[in-house]
Amino acid sequence: MSTTDLIDTVELSENVSIDNEQDQSMDHNEEEQTQQEQYQFDVIVIGSGPGGYTSAIRCAQLGKSVAIIERDLLGGHAVNWGCIPLNAMIASARFIRLIHESVRYGINISSHRIDYLRIARHRDEVVKKARSQIKKFLEKYHIQVYTGVANIIDKNHIIIKPIQKYTYINVYDADGRNPYETDDYIPIRADIEISGKNIIIASGIEYNFPNFVETNDTKTIDPTQLLWHKNIPDSLIIIGGGVLGCEFASLYRHLRSNIILIEKNSRLLKFMDEQVSFAVETRLKDIGVEIILNAYVERVSKGEVIIQLQQTNTKRTLLSSLVVICTGRKSTFDYENLQNLGINIDQEHSTIIINENTCQTSIPTIYACGGVVSSCWSWIPCVIHQGYLAANRISEYEDNSKSYIPINLVTPFVINVIPAVASVGEVPKLTDDVLIYTFKFQSNQRAIIDNQTWGFIKMWTTREEPKKFLAVQLVHEAAAEIIEYYSMIISLNIPLREICLLPFAHPTYTESVKEACEYVLGQSMNYEGTYLN
């Protein structure tokens, strides 16, 4: 080989080496850029409950890249520990009630046995299906899920930390498995920082024991621990006569527990109309629930509850197998950190203040919905609606400020006692401009056929013509389905006279909506009714 050839070979080798180094450098830069892009999103949602998965899926449907951070199982508290499992068990309780009433229909069931293991398995299966459905849609819209604890650094950045404490690590399903033992639950092992153009806080709330409960008392439990208890308690003291307290009293009395329900106020469900509250109280007493009103709890320890009766100024000691606390709740978020970021907080209620129409906080890139928000009742329909509002605002899908639907005024809710209670609208103060009517189900043909005539619809309407509904509350077996009609009527601002022109299937419970409207307008053909003004 000549000297010239040797020099050419060396130069070629050096050039190839330089090219390789440049290629490796470019590859490394591209890899870093790809990794950075993997942690950058249009929207980051904290919490995968109803508000979280609704806003996440809606944003993805509108073309946004989305990440969800969840510290618990997919679906959050409502799907895994609250609404869904509770209502799965209430479904079993409704069958127990039907068995007790079967003789009315000519069917004599002389004996039956409550198989709690099968009831619990039904509960578990319902929860798994609900969680699987959420997972399916998150995957369909390519939503990245991180299982960890979210810490907001600033208006666009979040550090996700590994989970230090599982919410219900000591809870087990019907077959003795811990719910966290699933392929769907893969917590992160190290800190991850991600960024988003927008952040939605939908982290929800959790149960909190009041100060009167003794520390580490194994006989005092929260509602979730009761739902996953290994058996039906022989006796149960329920503290709190609100929604959960009444639902649990109804459920476990049908499961044959001896129930004592304690409420500090003069009536149950104090936020509901007095006539509705009294109806619920009557039904609970009819099935054997002992109700103690005007009672302050002084101490709870090892199944013993000491109460102070306000009317007689005397003390009473109660004993039971378990005590369930249905009063205290707290947010899952660090509000001090949010305040330091510049987010306005409602100090009295420890909740985030938002714009009602957009769900934006005082920081425009950070939104909030659900139990962490001051304007939400924590009813799931309200939470879902807020999730839609936030997603639509972020995606500039529509001008939410022009929405004619005020969230709390037309959000229907259901209290799943047996029979159920439902409500929509804000009950107005009684003035000359407001009229009140009561329609009873005794004239509804479906109710007569099913022998379910117990119950009523209470309606608040305008006096001026054309008459319109302001609020509706009802008690009936079919309340959950009927209330949806009233919600649409109020939200769409439809006069009653137009409802009377609509055809309804016959015979149905929903036909009672038209029948009630006809009665209010003095056009009823089958009901005389009760005018309460």
- Which amino acids are annotated catalytic? 506
Contact in structure between 178 and 169 (CB atoms under 8 Å)? yes
What is the helix, strand, coil percentage profile of the chain, to 5?
35, 25, 40
Is residue 241 part of an annotated ligand binding site? yes
Is residue 193 part of an annotated ligand binding site? no
Is residue 246 part of an annotated ligand binding site? yes
- Residue 24: count other Cβ atoms within 10 Å of its Cβ: 10
Nearest to 500 by CA among 466, 476, 472: 466
Contact in structure between 387 and 371 (CB atoms under 8 Å)? no
> What is the phi-psi region of residue 323: left when phi exceeds 0, alpha when psi lies from -120 to 50, beta otherwise?
beta
d(CA 529, CA 510): 17
- Residue 409: count other Cβ atoms within 10 Å of its Cβ: 14
Tell me whether strands 322-325 and 235-239 are parallel, antiparallel or unpaired. Answer: parallel
Contact in structure between 460 and 425 (CB atoms under 8 Å)? yes
Nearest to 203 by CA among 85, 390, 334: 334
What are the E-state strand segments in 90-210?
144-147, 149-152, 157-161, 192-201, 205-207
Is residue 263 part of an annotated ligand binding site? yes
Angle, CA of 515, 521 and 527, to the nearest 5°: 40
d(CA 418, CA 205): 26
Tokens for 76, please give them: 């959050």
What are the backbone dihedrals phi and psi of residue 103, each rounded to the nearest 5 degrees, phi first? -60, -25
Nearest-10 Cα torsion for 223, 229, 232, 233: -70
Residue 118 makes CB contacts below 8 A (sequence gap 6+) with none
d(CA 141, CA 129): 19
d(CA 388, CA 391): 5
Is residue 240 part of an annotated ligand binding site? yes
Tell me whether strands 235-239 and 366-368 are parallel, antiparallel or unpaired. Answer: unpaired
CA distances (Å), origin 116, targets 179, 230, 381: 18, 9, 30
Is residue 369 part of an annotated ligand binding site? no
Cis peptide before 419 (omega within 30 of 0): yes
Tokens for 354, please give them: 């938002």
Contact in structure between 422 and 413 (CB atoms under 8 Å)? yes
Is residue 410 part of an annotated ligand binding site? no
Question: Of how many residues is the chain composed?
Answer: 533
d(CA 98, CA 117): 20
Per-residue burial over 357-367, b = 16 or more CB atoms within 10 Å of its CB, e = otherwise = bbbbbebeebb
Is residue 148 part of an annotated ligand binding site? no
Is residue 372 part of an annotated ligand binding site? no
d(CA 226, CA 252): 10
Residue in the structure block whose two tokens are 């739902």:
227
Is residue 288 part of an annotated ligand binding site? no
Annotated binding site: 240-247, 263, 328
Annotated binding site for NAD(+): 240-247, 263, 328
